[in-house]
Structure 1
Amino acid sequence: MPETKDNSLFYTCSLIEFIGREQKIERREVVDRLGQETIEHIFDFADVLHCEPIKKVAIEYIEKCNIVPGQYDNVSDCKYTVPSYWDIGKVYSRLISDLFEEQEYVKGLWQVYHSWISDLLSDYNTDFYYQSRGYIAECYRQNKVLS
């Protein structure tokens, strides 16, 4: 059975979330600072990178891509239990895999992180990020939060 790239996508999204929290910047800005080529590299080598502590990997990419700290702190702003970076990575990776074919995961990652839904997924004071994956995907498809 061929190996899917879902785990690579999950790791890549979790690393983006970790870097965003570490540097206090919006996740689309993490994606911009990493750039398409670096994201493709992370995605392609996620099976190797995940063997290291995620903080170590994050620091290497923060330094390599000169990702400077910002003022965006959705973790401190959260009034409730903060989801882990793995939890948010899973939400993003499921959304991307629900919307895009496996060969388009990196393209899909770029689109999702640059869309309106990324702001909503990063607001931990709402219940949106823990809605069902089907609901989140349908909201993205319809370009609005469904009632």
Structure 2
Amino acid sequence: MSFDHLTCPRCGAEVKRYRNPVPTVDIIIETAGGIVLIERKNEPRGWALPGGFVDYGETLEAAAMREALEETSLHVTNLRLLGCYSDPARDPRQHTISTVYVAEASGVPAAADDAANLAVFPLNDLPSELCFDHRRILDDYLRFRERSSA
């Protein structure tokens, strides 16, 4: 059996296997002191925006709110779309497409679920090394903020 085909369990015919990118969300959570980043518990380890995979039957917005709550214990509101990021190499585990939101939050931030740690970073003192393409995303966010305030 080849990797680009599946075998039909009913008739035994080979059927083409389609590989599609996996949808994910990331959330830039704005607070008075900066933005919330998590330190990932799982590979790839390091600092990252809160986020994760979209469940089947779930909207992107619902996934963003769920992931934010699961990883940071924060309820996010006022979701605003920053952009979509689709570089096939953005996640070393598989090809993902991330829809990135900017949001406000209420509650007390606390690391949970896939987050080993959590911190609020001032925008002028972000970690130099971030997981995935989150440095690019945050650079886009900073440019977006500059345009919005001009």
Q: TM-score range by the shorter chain?
A: 0.3 to 0.5
Larger fraction in helix: 1
TM-score (norm 2): 0.37
Question: TM-score, normalization: structure 1?
Answer: 0.38
Bigger share in strand: 2
Larger Rg: 2
